[in-house]
């Protein structure tokens, strides 16, 4: 019974929080002098069309990978804001190398994946080393590393160096990866229209989610990470080497972050350009918070985030700035962390009462 | 117990007098080097004035971070509070003048600071999550507000505000008359020194003067008043303070309100003195650099000021010529080479390689290209932050309770 109530509380928290965030957003829409419910209805109708849902799924794949990358760090309270730099540098290097070689199809894709992961791993390891050796706050170091990565890419991604001007557009891109380094998309039966196919990288994302769960719950390292996250002091006493674990976790987070750009690189654009989005670190962190670091929860969070952003495209037509979505997302995250904290306090009080009742007769403890 | 280990001992202004001799020596060396390499604007009057303009917002963010962290709360939301300051400062400033802009920007920053306090102190949410999300909220909110308030106004757009009026400037009398001839005469070293003094003391915005004054004010309030003692006590041992009826949450709210207000002021500074309008993305991570200055400055306002000057100087490099930036690289390379040689004589070969290889690479780079690409200059302050945090002396002592939420009965 208590377990059921506890589970109910955990599930109720995000629902209540999202409801609160939605209410805030509706108030903002009303302040912007549009009919909030009509706009919301339009957005839902647009978002729930099958074609849009496929696009949402495609958008959710990188969000999911970023979310898992963030979740890996969360266990040790390492906030990897560097997902942005790690993924963009990784995708850039992978695009350059992928376009420069010719290999049989599976090997070519594998090479691109390995390069992207290795670069993400290495770039995150810089922040990990700074944290472990010099005690530099990970948030600060990864934000600085993002700026450095942006500058490096801006310098390398110029026609004078590793890039070329795309014909007929302002986009500057690397050379195109030959078709042996592409992954196919999966057409969804019954859905018509341009881009109505799910990116094949979805299977990699699913594999990453399963691998994340297995490592965390079925391996020694995963056990150490969870122990460290629950009580750092107890874990250290038990002989877990905290610095080594932090470095490992940070680098693993970076390696997963390296995958974030690959759905677009391998499945859609086949070259790296200025159109690879930035700001995915915050998306990843939000999605991981939403999903409480659980692979299924993160999947739900990623899909919800992608759905909100995609359906918001209708807002422009209603004369409302699409940025209202960012407000909705930020308020959702804040409301959810508050809700989780309140749930934690309620459960702690329940447990104290339970303990008091169990031992109360003997010792007379009152809580 | 020696005097040096007493917390707060190094917070008196007197200790700065020691390094002054070193600063003069370093300045002379850099001045001679820039003369030798024909870099015109390393210590030009305009360049120094630009350094001051780029330092002030970082310094304000640093002081904001100092207030928050001294009370035991990390304020990663400084960037967002600064963004709120830029938007509201510009919004009120272009309509009702700089005074209104100042008030609105500081008020907006303070409001964000209090929201951070509500989340991190009252609800005990992880301070990093709360701060990061407030940054996101500020970005979303200002974009949304721009689309309503700026997009349809003459001179404004969805990402920029109309022109914002500036604060008046002041000059120290007689400096211009006395030193301008020395600057123009191009005397080696002395000419540069005159330019530095001219850049610092003439045509300075009133707001800059206020910002500089906030450093001693911060020191005085935090180390010489009852309020400051309580804020610092709450940041070291909240449970001890609480047992003496000093309620941690009260002082953390106060400190975060001030912290947000300072960040908001930094935003106002960006839209008025450092530029003349609100532009999206204007803060460019300066809130985070401000956080770094506090680590660099070992949580004391005087060293935070020195750190802000270093970061402000590198931030201002974007206004300089590429050759000038190269001079700095040569200087860093030479220092690195000197350290490498010293380590070599001491028999520390790993140290020699650690410093020698990057130093050699820097010098070789300058030898070959003689200039630094502008893309690299854009991340100079961020790279400097990383390097300083990586190599700075690590005899640091943060407030003991920083980052720890306080709940009565939770602490062991």
What is the C-alpha to C-alpha distance for residues B184 and B179, in angstroms, rounded to an integer? 9
Identify which of B123, B376, B382 has the shortest CB distance to residue A144. B382
For residue B408, give how far its alpha carbon lies from the nearest alpha carbon of chain A (Å). Answer: 12
What is the C-alpha to C-alpha distance for residues A85 and A123, in angstroms, rounded to an integer? 8
Can you name the residues that pair with A165 across neighbouring β-strands? A172
Q: Are A242 and A232 in contact (CB under 8 A)?
A: yes
Are A226 and A274 within one domain? yes
CA neighbor of B404 nearest in space, from B121, B67, B78: B121
Q: Is the pLDDT of residue B5 over 50?
A: no
Residue A331, helix vs strand vs coil: helix
Average pLDDT over residues B151-159: 87
Are A269 and A357 within one domain? no
What is the residue-wise DSSP string for A184-217?
Answer: --EEPTT--STT-EE-TTHHHHHHHHHHHHHHHH
- The pair of three-digit structure tokens given for residue B127, joined into one six-digit string: 């301070």
For chain B, give the percent of residues with pLDDT over 70: 93
Query: What is the band of B412 on the pLDDT scale with cuts at 50, 70, 90?
Result: very low
Q: Do B143 and A326 touch (CB under 8 A)?
A: yes
pLDDT at B1: 36
**One-letter-per-residue 3-state SS of A291-311:** CCCCHHHHHHHHHHHHHHHHH
What is the C-alpha to C-alpha distance for residues A59 and A198, in angstroms, rounded to an integer? 10
Residue A37 lies in a domain: no
Q: Do A338 and B119 touch (CB under 8 A)?
A: yes
> Packing angle between helix B127-149 and helix A280-290, nearest 10 degrees?
120
Query: pLDDT tens digits for A166-210?
Result: 666 777 888 889 888 888 888 877 777 666 788 989 999 999 999
pLDDT-wise least confident of A15-29, A161-175, B181-195, B347-361: A161-175
Residue A43 lies in a domain: no
For residue B173, give how far its alpha carbon lies from the nearest alpha carbon of chain A (Å). Answer: 41
**One-letter-per-residue 3-state SS of chain B:** CCHHHCCCHHHCHHHHHHHHHHHHHHHHHHHHHHHHCCCCCCCCHHHHHHHHHHHHHHHHHHHHHHHHHHCCCCCCCHHHHHHHHHHHHHHHHHHHCHHHHHHHHHHHHHHHHHHHHHHHHHCCCCHHHHHHHHHHHHHHHHHHHHHHHCCCCCCCCCCECCCCCCCCEECCCCHHHHHHHHHHHCCCCHHHHHHHHHHHHCCEEHHHHHHHHHHHHHHHHHHHCHHHHHHHHHHHCHHHHHHCCCCHHHHHHHHHHHHHHHHHHHHHHHHHHHCCCCECCCCCCHHHHHHHHHHHCCCCHHHHHHHHHHHHHHHHHHHCCHHHHHHHHHHHHHHHHHHHHHHHHCCCHHHHHHHHHHHHHHHHHHHHHCCCCHHHHHCHHHHHHHHHHHHCCCCCCCCCCCCCCCCCCCCC
Q: Is the pLDDT of residue A87 over 90?
A: yes
Give residues 366 to 395 of B whose Cβ lies within 8 Å of A: 373, 375-376, 378-379, 382-383, 385-386, 389-390, 394
pLDDT-wise least confident of A85-94, A118-127, A163-172, B54-63: A163-172
Are A247 and A137 within one domain? yes
Residue A347 lies in a domain: yes
Contacts of A81 in chain B (CB under 8 A): 132
Q: Is the pLDDT of residue A230 over 70?
A: yes
Q: Which residue of A has its CA nearest to B376?
A: A151
- The pair of three-digit structure tokens given for residue A121, joined into one six-digit string: 């791993």
Q: Is the pLDDT of residue A4 over 80?
A: no
Are A202 and A234 within one domain? yes
Q: Which residue of B has its CA nearest to A134?
A: B390
CA angle B178, B181, B185 (to 5 degrees): 145
Contacts of A71 in chain B (CB under 8 A): none
What is the residue-wise DSSP string for A100-152?
Answer: H----HHHHHHHHHHHHHHHHHHHHHHHHHHHHHH---HHHHHHHHHHHHHHH
Q: Do B385 and A341 touch (CB under 8 A)?
A: no
User: Which stretch of DSSP H or E encloses residue A259?
Assistant: none
For residue A180, give how far its alpha carbon lies from the nearest alpha carbon of chain B (Å). Answer: 34
Are A249 and A143 within one domain? yes
CA neighbor of B305 nearest in space, from B317, B314, B296: B296
pLDDT at A324: 83
Residue A219, helix vs strand vs coil: coil
Class of domain B45-288: mainly alpha
Query: What is the band of A35 on the pLDDT scale with cuts at 50, 70, 90?
Result: confident
Q: Which residue of B has its CA nearest to A156?
A: B375
B106 CB near a chain A CB, below 8 Å? Answer: no
Contacts of A327 in chain B (CB under 8 A): 137, 140-141, 144
pLDDT at B233: 95
Q: Which residue of B has its CA nearest to A31?
A: B148
Are A16 and A128 within one domain? no
Are A313 and A335 within one domain? no
Reported ipTM: the value is: 0.88
Residue A342 lies in a domain: yes
- CATH 1.10.3470 occupies which residues in chain B? 45-288
Are A96 and A202 within one domain? yes
Domain boundary among A302, A318, A334: A318
Query: Residue with structure tokens 């600057």?
Result: B183
Domain residue limits at A314: 62-182+196-318
What is the C-alpha to C-alpha distance for residues A256 and A252, in angstroms, rounded to an integer? 6
Our measurement of the distance from residue B408's CA atom to the centroid of its chain's CA atoms, rounded to an integer in Å, reads: 35
Q: Which residue of B has its CA nearest to A70?
A: B129
pLDDT at A160: 77
Contacts of B378 in chain A (CB under 8 A): 147, 151, 154
Q: Is the pLDDT of residue A336 over 80?
A: yes
Residue A218 lies in a domain: yes
B249 CB near a chain A CB, below 8 Å? Answer: no
pLDDT at B112: 98
What is the C-alpha to C-alpha distance for residues B43 and B187, in angstroms, rounded to an integer? 13
Buried b (16+ CB within 10 A) or exposed e, A202-227: bebbeebbeebeebbeeeeebebbeb
Residue A145 lies in a domain: yes
Identify which of A79, A323, A330 has the shortest CB distance to residue B128. A79
Q: φ and ψ at B395, to 5 degrees? A: -90, 60
Contacts of B394 in chain A (CB under 8 A): 134-135
Domain boundary among A318, A335, A359: A318
Identify which of B136, B137, B143 has the shortest CB distance to residue A321. B143
Give residues 37 to 76 of B whose Cβ lies within 8 Å of A: 76
Specify the higher pLDDT residue, B254 or A187.
Answer: B254
Query: pLDDT tens digits for B88-127?
Result: 999 999 999 999 999 999 999 999 999 999 999 999 999 9
Are A263 and A330 within one domain? no
Query: What is the band of B73 on the pLDDT scale with cuts at 50, 70, 90?
Result: very high
Residue A167, helix vs strand vs coil: coil
For residue A231, give how far its alpha carbon lies from the nearest alpha carbon of chain B (Å). Answer: 13
Which residues, including other chains, have CB under 8 Å from residue B187's CB and lie 6 or more apart?
Answer: none
Q: Which residue of A has its CA nearest to B396?
A: A135
Residue A173, helix vs strand vs coil: strand
Are A129 and A270 within one domain? yes
Contacts of A231 in chain B (CB under 8 A): none
Residue A42 lies in a domain: no
What is the C-alpha to C-alpha distance for residues A112 and A100, in angstroms, rounded to an integer? 11
Domain boundary among A318, A340, A358: A318
Are A156 and A254 within one domain? yes
Residue A312 lies in a domain: yes
Q: Do B140 and A325 touch (CB under 8 A)?
A: yes
CA neighbor of B86 nearest in space, from B102, B74, B99, B100: B102
Q: Are A271 and A177 in contact (CB under 8 A)?
A: yes
Average pLDDT over residues B242-265: 96
pLDDT-wise least confident of A35-44, A148-157, A299-308, B10-19: B10-19
Contacts A–B by Cβ distance under 8 A: 131
B82 CB near a chain A CB, below 8 Å? Answer: no
Q: Do A152 and B375 touch (CB under 8 A)?
A: yes
What is the C-alpha to C-alpha distance for residues B290 and A143, in angstroms, rounded to an integer? 12
pLDDT at B199: 87
Q: What is the mean pLDDT of chain A?
A: 88
B128 CB near a chain A CB, below 8 Å? Answer: yes
Identify which of A145, A320, A334 has the shortest CB distance to residue B386. A145
B96 CB near a chain A CB, below 8 Å? Answer: no
Query: Residue with structure tokens 């300051």?
Result: B85
What is the C-alpha to C-alpha distance for residues B383 and A108, in angstroms, rounded to an integer? 34
Query: pLDDT tens digits for B257-291?
Result: 999 999 999 999 999 999 999 999 899 889 999 99
Count: domains in chain A:
2
Are A202 and A286 within one domain? yes
Q: How far apart are the first and last CA of chain A?
A: 21
């Amino acid at each position: 019974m208590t377990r059921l109530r506890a589970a109910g509380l955990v599930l109720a928290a995000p629902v209540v929080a999202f409801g609160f965030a939605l209410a805030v957003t509706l108030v903002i829409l009303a302040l912007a002098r549009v009919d909030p419910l009509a706009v919301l209805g339009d957005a839902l109708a647009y978002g729930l069309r099958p074609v849009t849902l496929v696009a949402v799924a495609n958008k959710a794949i990188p969000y999911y990978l970023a979310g898992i990358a963030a979740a890996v760090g969360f266990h040790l309270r390492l906030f990897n804001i560097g997902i942005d730099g790690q993924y963009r540098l990784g995708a850039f290097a992978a695009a350059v190398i992928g376009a420069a070689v010719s290999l049989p199809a599976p090997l070519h894709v594998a090479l691109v994946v390995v390069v992207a992961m290795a670069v993400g791993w290495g770039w995150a390891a810089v922040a990990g080393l700074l944290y472990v050796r010099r005690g530099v706050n990970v948030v600060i170091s990864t934000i600085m590393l993002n700026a450095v990565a942006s500058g490096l890419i801006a310098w390398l991604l110029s026609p004078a160096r590793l890039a070329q001007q795309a014909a007929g557009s302002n986009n500057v891109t690397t050379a195109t990866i030959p078709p042996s380094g592409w992954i196919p998309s999966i057409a969804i039966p019954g859905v018509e229209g341009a881009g109505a196919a799910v990116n094949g990288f979805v299977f990699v994302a699913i594999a990453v989610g399963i691998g994340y769960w297995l490592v965390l719950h079925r391996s020694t390292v995963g056990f150490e990470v969870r122990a460290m996250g629950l009580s750092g002091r107890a874990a250290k006493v038990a002989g877990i080497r905290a610095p080594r674990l932090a470095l490992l976790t940070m680098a693993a987070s970076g390696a997963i972050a390296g995958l974030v750009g690959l759905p677009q690189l391998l499945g859609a654009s086949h070259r790296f350009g200025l159109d690879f989005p930035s700001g995915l670190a915050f998306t990843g962190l939000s999605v991981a918070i939403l999903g409480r670091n659980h692979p299924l929860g993160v999947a739900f969070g990623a899909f919800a985030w992608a759905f909100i952003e995609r359906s918001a495209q209708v807002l422009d037509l209603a004369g409302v700035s699409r940025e209202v979505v960012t407000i909705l997302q930020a308020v959702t995250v804040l409301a959810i962390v508050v809700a989780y904290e309140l749930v934690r306090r309620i459960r702690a009080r329940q447990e104290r009462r339970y303990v008091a009742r169990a031992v109360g007769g003997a010792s007379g403890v009152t809580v | 117990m020696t005097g040096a280990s007493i917390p707060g001992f190094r917070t008196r202004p007197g200790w700065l007098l020691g390094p002054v001799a070193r600063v003069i020596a370093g300045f002379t060396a850099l001045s001679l080097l820039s003369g030798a390499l024909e870099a015109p604007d390393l210590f030009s009057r305009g360049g120094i004035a630009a350094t001051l303009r780029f330092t002030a917002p970082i310094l304000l963010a640093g002081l904001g971070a100092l207030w928050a962290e001294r009370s035991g709360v990390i304020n990663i939301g400084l960037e967002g509070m600064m963004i709120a300051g830029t938007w509201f400062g510009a919004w009120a400033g272009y309509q009702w003048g700089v005074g209104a802009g100042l008030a609105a920007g500081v008020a907006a920053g303070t409001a964000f600071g209090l929201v951070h306090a509500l989340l991190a102190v009252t609800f005990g949410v992880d301070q990093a999550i709360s701060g990061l999300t407030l940054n996101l909220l500020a970005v979303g909110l200002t974009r949304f507000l721009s689309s309503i308030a700026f997009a349809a106004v003459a001179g404004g757009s969805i990402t920029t505000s109309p022109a914002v009026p500036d604060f008046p400037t002041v000059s120290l009398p007689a400096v211009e008359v006395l030193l301008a001839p020395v600057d123009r005469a191009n005397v080696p070293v002395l000419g540069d020194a005159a330019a530095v003094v001219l850049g610092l003391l003439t045509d300075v915005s009133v707001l800059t003067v206020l910002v500089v004054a906030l450093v001693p004010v911060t020191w005085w309030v935090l180390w010489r008043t009852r309020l400051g003692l309580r804020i610092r006590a709450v940041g070291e041992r909240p449970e001890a303070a609480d047992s003496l009826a000093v309620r941690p949450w009260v002082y953390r709210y106060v400190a975060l309100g001030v912290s947000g207000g300072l960040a908001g002021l930094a935003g106002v500074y960006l839209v008025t003195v450092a530029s003349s309008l609100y532009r999206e993305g204007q803060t460019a991570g300066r809130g985070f650099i401000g956080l770094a200055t506090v680590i660099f400055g070992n949580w004391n306002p005087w060293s935070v000021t020195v750190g802000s000057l270093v970061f402000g100087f590198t931030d201002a490099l974007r206004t300089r010529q590429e050759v000038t930036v190269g001079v700095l690289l040569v200087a860093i390379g030479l220092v690195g080479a000197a350290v490498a040689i010293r380590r070599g004589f001491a028999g520390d070969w790993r140290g020699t390689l650690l410093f020698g290889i990057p130093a050699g690479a820097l010098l070789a780079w300058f030898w070959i290209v003689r200039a630094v690409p502008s893309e690299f200059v854009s991340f100079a302050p961020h790279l400097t932050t990383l390097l300083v945090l990586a190599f700075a002396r690590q005899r640091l002592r943060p407030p003991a309770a920083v980052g720890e939420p306080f709940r009565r009965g939770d602490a062991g």
